[in-house]
Structure 1
């Protein structure tokens, strides 16, 4: 029998087989260059960087959203770089607040600068995830006493690809105020990388000459110092870094050879060191911690965000929430800014028992495969430990939020990377395996690109949230605000009313209605809503301040002053209250207190309150200090005040929203 080419059939098959082998060899050489050489790894990572920029480049035009206004636009602390370095004035997350202050110093309230820095943090975290995965792979195969196989070179690439490109990551990157999550995760992983490097150095056999040339020992000590420094910086970024010692414990247990006693001692010392630094830091900031009882009370308060929810009830809720997280990792649908996940009853119903049993089965699986597939065990432990602070016994206002998967995603990516390595190792057609990996990366990129478009405006974000959860009262509240800003008061009122009907415990829709009616001059209706707000939320300074203005408009100055001062006590940094108190004291011809209120206002917001400078000039002019008055009015003109309008009348202000 002859082949088409005229050769015997056996020769034709041999030629086809040789051609197939040559193609596979050519691919293997290319893959080897990509994952084994330094140049190839750089090219691989640059491809991931390009895809990440493609996804998140469109976020540069995204405005401030939701909590961004509270943390950035209305936060006077980020306007004072020097004040942020004072120990007494430090916030609970001072490191990230410092980056926000640098953003403000560079570009004021232009959102693009904040988005650029968030994207850079995400890219750096992707690089750290690559380094951690590569170090863990080397350490694991060293424990197995084997060389790192060629196929294992795909693990770091896969980890970085999933970490950078997974759709779940879009929320913490685009939502500016989630920079706390980005920065804390970066230092968390950096601390892990330093720990792995220190442990690998400590396993090296040192020559006797190292006693006279202690460079290897010095390198080991420096890596441990880097681990501690990164851990501390992580704690100063976000409190979920507290789970780091437990992560290091399982890395030591699963990747390195240690005795149990040495392992326990090492981790206890680490926990004591980090806890000691944190407690000293908090004690220096809080003069009320003067006894053990006060410290226990302080820790109890600091480890819960909401009152009235037992720790057990929150834990049982999280058993179900974590399965939702796992579903979102595998099939990322339903991603939204607000899930409105309701707490369970706190009883052990069938669904809760099954959820808890499922988590126990996952941990049993991790233990069972630890000797043969240690990286899989570590990935499972990583996922649960990274979630342990926000998904355990610390009650938090929102039981389920997408951005909490940011750091746990690295553990999932480690499992996926190990499975990719197994596929490359077992398959006889590596080209097929590489094609599947490339296809998954492109699918993730496209999915993330589409998800990022949801964040283009406040309206698109909240409409998306409402579509995915029609029973979400917060979505109705925020869409009401969107329509109010558009001037469609009827639609805004309908959305606010719907939110109150769905959840009578929410005060924000009633507050927004009160503010809206106050701006329209419908004071009786506004008063009804504002008094409803105070019944639900007695510490809402905006409700008291606006009620004070209503009393002022109706001629009751004393009552107005009482309410405005109470609002100022509730929140001494509310610029609207300070401005109105200053104007009221001018009308009451009490110029010295008026000057004090305006002075406080410009100290908090030095470049955004030009009218305050103008009124300070007016007060000094009335006091006969012409030169001082001219100075303050020059400041007002410098920052863009409309002097002609202010000369016509005093203009009271009403808060923008609730």
Structure 2
């Protein structure tokens, strides 16, 4: 394949990439919403009226809160409601588009770095670009980004990232560019990057990749400028990096991810752990994609003297320095930098809740796949044996089969968390989510068993206590339910549902004053809680001899939810009392 004589057309490559994408990922299109996709999509009250999100005003207001991503979810709701297949099709479409964009970007990159000068003909460049794009398309590590719907942020941001880089390549390849044309290209690239940034802030690294693309080739016209101003440029960069790290280590909340600061392992420990995550988890999984895991159990590094930290930093330094010394055209160095730079926001300065997540390596992985494709190309080009070409097909086939198999793990909450728990048995989240999955399947006893196990590891988790209370309530074990709901309300006192559940229990026990107290607390926290307003109406109108207040609560409940199951009874009650 790599050194064959048949001419590979651009159209043929694009069609084959698209077909492979559909074949490899087709078995996941009916998978349900999983993990964070449930609260962010199906339980998201803002998506009940999607048209309010599909406006320029919303994008402007929520620009830094991944506004474009949320608009894409609203578009799915507008087109097909909450049917998962529409969301999966859009994710897959973007993934295939990214593989196509990568194919075109790679062809241009090979030529810019002068691979023609070392004997790479056009056909070989195109074929290696195609092979690298197919690896990016079908590698099993991409399943989390493609199938996990809320990871659309990674896939969508990558579309704009690659499109912006492609436009920059087009600009550099123009034989002559007038000032208006130059400004037009820069404006288009800026707008593309702006859209991508509103999907995920990974796009903030695009300027670094474009600068590296411009300056890195040995024949770049920018080298005289760099040599002349190297001390000034180095001084400015050192000052910026120094100020950034000073801010990072003096303000624990600076540049944290979507989790709260108190949920973190701490910035110093996070940054010390990341070199090991990159070398011993991400690169390892890219080369040997087995035992993939949505919630990997990563060792936290606490000191600079840790072997994990020292060895991984040494490996990274050797890779970068070695690539500069050995490969004079700096092509290998560029794609290693591609990998590290794109990965850098989530694996260095931005502290996140999880030390590792496979979707973070989505676009960064292309740097490794390109180098892998080049290694295979060199091997097949030197041997010129038909048997070596077979290796390429086997590699793509193995990756495709592993991806299809990994897709099936996501077919249900239960299969996903059984797989995760088997690989991370000491982490609390897989245990809690496995319990929840059994609960959704109606296996209450197994759910209670796993929730109780999770309480042994971590007794003060809100979700565990709330869900366990709910299960005990369904089994009629009200004292146990009250105990866990009370604990849940103390762990997260800003969540109204715990107080609402306590109110319902005390209402059923005819402890009306207690029920009234807890219901009032729930609506204080959520003034739009129609069900609780209805329950307040029941307590006050029928049991606390406060009919006027009870009617007010009924009226408020009806205003908030005019289509609730007992809406007609409430209307009749309000009408009857209107004439008294």
TM range, smaller chain: 0.7 to 0.9
Partner in structure 2 of residue 328 of structure 1: 285
Gaps of 5+ in 1: 1-23, 35-39, 207-213, 269-292, 603-608, 626-658
User: What is the rounded CA distance, in whole Å, between the counterparts of 1:196 and 1:526 in structure 2?
Assistant: 62
Partner in structure 1 of residue 475 of structure 2: 520
Partner in structure 2 of residue 362 of structure 1: 319
1:469 CA drift (Å)? 2.1
Partner in structure 2 of residue 288 of structure 1: none
Partner in structure 1 of residue 42 of structure 2: 73
Matched, 1:252 2:207: no
User: What is the rounded CA distance, in whole Å, between the counterparts of 1:298 and 1:245 in structure 2?
Assistant: 26
Cα shift readout 1:519-546 (whole Å, capped 9, x = no counterpart): 3332211111122223444434332322
User: What is the rounded CA distance, in whole Å, between the counterparts of 1:254 and 1:616 in structure 2?
Assistant: 72
Aligned residues of 1:314 and 1:346 also touching (Cα < 8 A): no
1:458 CA drift (Å)? 1.1
Q: Relative to structure 1, is the Cα distance of residues 599 and 375 closer, same or farther in structure 2, using a 3 angstrom cutoff?
A: farther
Which of 585, 588, 611 is the equivalent residue of 2:540? 588
Matched, 1:52 2:21: yes
Partner in structure 2 of residue 101 of structure 1: 74
Quick check: 614-623 or 221-230, which moved more?
A: 614-623
Which of 185, 207, 230 is the equivalent residue of 1:223? 185
Aligned residues of 1:338 and 1:401 also touching (Cα < 8 A): yes
Aligned residues of 1:151 and 1:425 also touching (Cα < 8 A): no
SS in 2 for 1:29: coil
**1:365-404 → structure 2 map (5 Å cutoff):** 365-369=322-326, 371-372=328-329, 374-404=330-360
1:408 CA drift (Å)? 0.9
Cα shift readout 1:35-62 (whole Å, capped 9, x = no counterpart): xxxxx22223322322221221111221
Q: What is the aligned-residue RMSD (CA, Å)?
A: 3.2
**1:146-545 → structure 2 map (5 Å cutoff):** 149-201=122-174, 204-205=175-176, 219-255=181-217, 256-259=220-223, 300=254, 305-308=259-262, 309-323=265-279, 324-346=281-303, 348-369=305-326, 371-372=328-329, 374-429=330-385, 431-545=386-500
Q: How many positions carry a matched residue from both structures?
A: 545
1:359 CA drift (Å)? 1.9
Q: Relative to structure 1, is the Cα distance of residues 391 and 599 closer, same or farther in structure 2, using a 3 angstrom cutoff?
A: farther
Gaps of 5+ in 2: 234-246, 542-549
Q: Relative to structure 1, is the Cα distance of residues 101 and 253 closer, same or farther in structure 2, using a 3 angstrom cutoff?
A: same
User: What is the rounded CA distance, in whole Å, between the counterparts of 1:568 and 1:199 in structure 2?
Assistant: 60
Partner in structure 2 of residue 90 of structure 1: 62
Aligned residues of 1:321 and 1:400 also touching (Cα < 8 A): yes
User: What is the rounded CA distance, in whole Å, between the counterparts of 1:260 and 1:534 in structure 2?
Assistant: 65
Partner in structure 1 of residue 510 of structure 2: 555
SS in 1 for 2:282: helix
Aligned residues of 2:17 and 2:100 also touching (Cα < 8 A): no
Greater C-alpha Rg: 1
Quick check: 103-112 or 556-565, which moved more?
A: 556-565
SS in 2 for 1:392: helix
Aligned residues of 2:520 and 2:536 also touching (Cα < 8 A): no
After TM superposition, the score normalised by the length of structure 2 is 0.85
User: What is the rounded CA distance, in whole Å, between the counterparts of 2:338 and 2:271 in structure 1?
Assistant: 19
